[in-house]
Amino acid sequence: MEMDTKDVEELAADTLSGDLRDVMLTHIRSMETPWSKMSETAQTDKIYAITNACETIVRRAVAIVAAHGSEAVFGRVTKFTVKDEIKAELVCASSVGNIEKVAENISQPAIIIFANPDVFMGEKAPATAEPDEPKLPIEDSDDDETQAAA
């Protein structure tokens, strides 16, 4: 059974959390060494790879939600003029897909949705690698004695 474009778009929206899970599982399964046994550099590399994967998934999610069944073209408005109407210049990557989407839709009605995926790229705190060498405990015996005397 062949899927039409609408089915593929719905499938993408319906499987977004699974897609994210699968990307994360791919990274986890590729780890030959447990996290606690990895060097700080290896942990940093893994954090970088997972961060990039998450950003890709978020961009995809924003495109799916913003397009709501329509094809999205990522770009930016670089200039515009206002007279009787607004004329805007759109700049986007020169990919085959973008060229086809823009060419197929010249002079067609469109709804422009300004959805910036970067808004969703925040974090509670940065991911950090564990240092290869733990910090040495510093004894504050002088400070303890000073505080006890006070």
According to DSSP, the residues that pair with 89 across neighbouring strands are 79
What phi-psi label fits residue 12: left (phi over 0), alpha (psi between -120 and 50 degrees) or beta? alpha
Neighbours of 73 (CB within 10 A): 19
* Three-state SS sequence of 121-137: CCCCCCCCCCCCCCCCC
Q: What is the pLDDT at residue 81?
A: 94
User: What's the pLDDT tens digit per position in 25-64?
Assistant: 888 888 899 989 999 999 999 999 988 888 888 877 777 7
Query: How high is the pLDDT of residue 11?
Result: 47
CA distances from 120 to 15, 56, 60, 116 (A): 19, 11, 12, 8
Claim to verify: residue 68 and residue 80 sit in the same structural domain: no
4 and 64, same structural domain?
yes
Task: Give the per-residue pLDDT at 39.
Answer: 93
Q: Tell me the one-letter amino acid at 51.
A: T
Q: In which domain, by residue range, is 40 found?
A: 1-72
Residues 10 and 32 in one domain: yes
Greatest mean pLDDT among 5-14, 50-59, 106-115: 50-59
pLDDT over 60 at 8, yes or no? no
pLDDT score, position 2? 46
Residue 3 lies in a domain: yes
